Structure 1
Amino acid sequence: MRTGVIARKRGMTAMWDDQGARHPVTVLQLDNCQVTANIKTVRKDKSEYHAVQVAATDKRAKNTTAQMLGHFEKAGVAPKQIVKEFPVTPDAHVPVGTVLSAVHFVPGQYVDVIAKSIGKGFQGGMKRWNFKGLRASHGVSISHRSSGAMGAHQDPGRIWPGKKMPGRLGGERITTQNLKVIRVDSTLNLVFVRGCVPGVDDAHVMVQDAKKTLVFAAKHNHAKALYEKVLPKGVDDLPFPAGTAELAKDLPPVIEAPAMRTSPFIPRE
């Protein structure tokens, strides 16, 4: 299990692959993402917890607390805006101060993106919970978008906790799973993922290897000796323990995943 990275959501656009298929993509950019610490703790059951602490986006020293200034100075990196840690396996620790690059991800693999969703304020039941609402024609008087009945009668005489009701919508930590990496630009540190990502533009997001379709699937197939299925189709290898800026110098500036379908312009035999 490798470490993840902290990126900034730059917005959405569209791409066309070599077969002419259109893909909506979200552009994520790594902004001075560096390793600031390697964490190892022992739990009560004597098992070990390993993690890599990552920080991103330079920050002015005068706007940083004294405690964090000391932490960054010890790591030998400039003050950063955001600091997060990613659980890893014991062999996936990365030297402190390492600059992570967009080549940490390989086109064709799948990633999970974690971010804070867009806050939408106080909303009703239809928008917040996708309720159907009441009848839009006859028999309903100015209650078309109400939530309907709230609960029981005299017994229990109250509303059960957890009832889906109007309230604050958005502004929560959301994980979007299994987004395919379409293109990697090591010059601008851009990662193009297929699909949408939570959060507003320029917000910080956490990007890591997909747990279900990559990490757990690889572990399952490796245990069954299905070595050809350990990595997704079209992916030969992943940078381990991480894709660094030094590694990016030896790779092409732009790497794009090949189309995984037959061309619609070639007649079938």
Structure 2
Amino acid sequence: MAVMWDNNGARLPVTVLQLENCQVTANVKTVRADGSEYHAVQVAASDRPEKTTTKQMLGHFKKAGVPPKRTVKEFPVTPDAHVPVGTTLSAIHFVPGQFVDVISNSIGKGFQGTMKRWNFKGLRASHGVSVSHRSAGAIGAHQDPGRVWPGKKMAGRLGGERTTTQNLTVVRVDTTLDLIFVRGCVPGVDDAFVMIRDAKKKMESVARVAYTKGQFDKVLPKHVDDLPFPAGTRELAAQLPPVIVAPSHRVTSPFTPRE
């Protein structure tokens, strides 16, 4: 993580994410059981040696004409949004000012008690409770039902599971180093692989409702005029400034006294 300052002088905590030779490896089109079609773009990132790649994946990457990759993900798209196989994506695919969701495996914290795992309040840490002030308390419910209900919040392993941080703002994009600066923190350890997608709630759902109502000026977030299509390729990045910073969402400076 790092810090930035917007054009009003406000300090922003940001997380720096990098695209490592992110390329399209396949376009997926299948028919679901209900007869509807499913369309997706398969994207792979971060080159890896051939000797550490399975033969099945080597054949898949060779067919796509890209070097072996360490991670492969699939992103659902509309039928008209397929990207040519082999296209190298740039950080400009994400427009400064838009909202994104970041998905990764959270940091594993091992076996933890109920206070840390479920935010239990605990008992008094002074007189009368001896050494049990951090205990979970009773877990039963009398003779009836005479057992512990499934799903009871108890001590156990914490973290190490798929976690999504929603509605993070893209505040800066560096196309020279393929860096994306998002406001806030993201799940995962340092140097972990994360998946970035358009925010489902603020980008997709809100845009769909606004489009249905005919409010076309509310389809995209504030300060965002258009989204690149086809996806932000390196050819598109070469036509734009190397560093693009999103303007502040604040109307006035936070340091200006209110009237």
Query: What TM-score comes out, normalization by structure 1 length?
Result: 0.93
Please state how far the C-alpha of 1:136 moved relative to its aligned partner: 1.5
Could you give the per-residue CA deviations for residues 53-91 of structure 1, whole angstroms, max 9, x where no partner exists?
110000000111110000000000000001110111111
Matched residues in 2 for 1:112 and 1:267: separation? 34
Q: CA RMSD in A?
A: 1.2
Is residue 21 of structure 2 the alignment partner of residue 58 of structure 1? no
Amino acid at match of 1:39: V
Q: Distance in 2 between matches of 1:267 and 1:155?
A: 62
Aligned residues: 258
Aligned counterparts of 2:226 and 2:175: Cα–Cα separation in 1:
17
Offset of residue 151 of structure 1? 2.0
Q: 1:108 corresponds to which letter in structure 2?
A: G
- Please give the secondary structure, in 2, of the residue aligned with 1:148: coil
- Taking structure 1 as reference, are residues 71 and 122 closer, same or farther at Cα in structure 2, changes over 3 Å only? same
Are 1:257 and 2:246 an aligned pair? yes
Counterpart pick for 1:202 among 177, 191, 194: 191
Identity level (%): 76
The counterpart of 1:113, out of the listed 97, 102, 105, is: 102
SS at match of 1:204: coil
Q: How does 1:17-96 map to 2 (within 5 A)?
A: 17-96=6-85
CA drift of 1:92 comes to: 1.0
Q: Is the 8 A contact 2:10 2:254 kept in 1?
A: no
Show the counterpart of 1:159: 148
* Residue in 2 that maps onto 1:231: 220
Separation of aligned partners in 2, 1:265 and 1:149: 51
Structure 1 residue ranges, 4+ long, deviating more than 3 angstroms after superposition: 264-269
1:247 aligned to 2:236?
yes
| Alpha-carbon distance between aligned partners in 2 of 1:143 and 1:137, rounded to the nearest angstrom | 11
Q: Secondary structure at the match of 1:32?
A: coil
Distance in 2, matches of 1:252 and 1:122, equals 48
TM-score (structure 2 length as normaliser): 0.97
SS of equivalent to 2:228: coil
Deviations 1:172-214 (A, max 9, x none): 0001000000000000000000000000010000001001001
Code of the residue aligned with 1:239 in structure 2: it is P
Partner SS for 1:243: coil
Matches within 5 A, 1:140-219: 140-219=129-208
The amino acid of 2:13's aligned partner reads: P
Tell me, yes or no, if the aligned pair for 2:104 and 2:188 is still in contact at 8 Å.
Answer: yes
Point out where structure 2 has 5 or more consecutive residues left out of the alignment: none
